[in-house]
Amino acid sequence: MPVITYREALRHAMDEELTRDPNVVILGEEVGQFQGAYKITEGLLAKHGPKRIVDTPISEAGFLGMGVGSAMLGLRPVMELMFFSFYSVAFDQIFNNAANIRYMSGGLINCPIVIRGPANGGTNVGATHSHTPESIAAYHPGIKVVVPSTAYDAKGLLKSAIRDNDPVIFLENTMLYGESCEVPTEEYLIPLGQAKVMREGTDISIIGHGRSIQMALKSAIMLKEKHNINAEVIDLRSIRPLDEAAILASVRKTNRVLLVEEAKPFCSVSAMIACIIQEKAFDYLDAPIRRVTSMDAPAIYSPPLEKEQLPTPQKIFDAALVVLK
């Protein structure tokens, strides 16, 4: 099985779907001639042509609105945002229109659009380019939200997202683009809404998504080596739909929970998961739920300070020990 990067896995997913379905198109700033700001779409223009790989003006409101309209008319557009922080420029198009059209049309009109791009901090690009908006996106009924943590998941989830008949927000992390793992050459799909046990454990459940999973796995190794603690690591993969069954099964198994995410703590995904656990598995808890999130402040521009703002393996390790007291 070949080892490829997260970046290549995304490209392979789009290439396969462009080949499979003539209604799939890629639109965004610099996705064509420049081959993508992060080279995700490298080679796709040469292979599929300018009618399928379309460079757009620097106007998220304009090209996302065009994408929503084209999806309603039968295309399956995959829209690339150079930074996902710019989704706010097209808030109306995404959350007021794409999210609601199937409901408001009584199921007569679908909107099969994928909006993808990097949504993370840690790259020292300032507060306006470092948003992690998964909780904002997931708040809106009608929107699906996906956050892959590995190249394998990135490919399988993106292919499923492109085939889905609902709008899908597909959040990536620039710090994962160069990470590699084994990815099959044969076609595979990963259903949206299916979490994954990344590491089996019995003593504590560490639950998260995106790059935080890589931090959690490092912490789990530290816990085992230093204290012989067996931590279970659950990768949500999808925020909405959310795999509640997998979360609750892990909680009932370990009886202790640590929630990890890069987003800010207020009204976050981890806050929602904590509520679900309290409501549906409270009697299984042997300790209060704890969270490790980013510092509740705009993203810091200074490289050494921003590192301290984000979750780290050491922070997760320390928090896990508190839960296990």
- Cβ count near 188 (within 10 Å): 12
Q: What is the DSSP letter of 85?
A: G
Contact 203, 229 (CB under 8 A): yes
d(CA 31, CA 180): 22
Selected catalytic residue, list 60, 80, 261, 306: 60
d(CA 221, CA 216): 9
**Among this protein's residues, is 129 annotated catalytic?**
yes
Selected catalytic residue, list 8, 29, 48, 129: 129
For 226-280, the DSSP string reads HH---EEEEE--EEES--HHHHHHHHHHHS-EEEE-SS-STT-HHHHHHHHHHHH
Which of 204, 157, 16, 85 lies closest to 26 in space, CA to CA? 16
C-alpha distances (whole Å) from 79 to each of 140, 201, 243 are 19, 38, 26
Name the residues annotated as catalytic.
60, 129
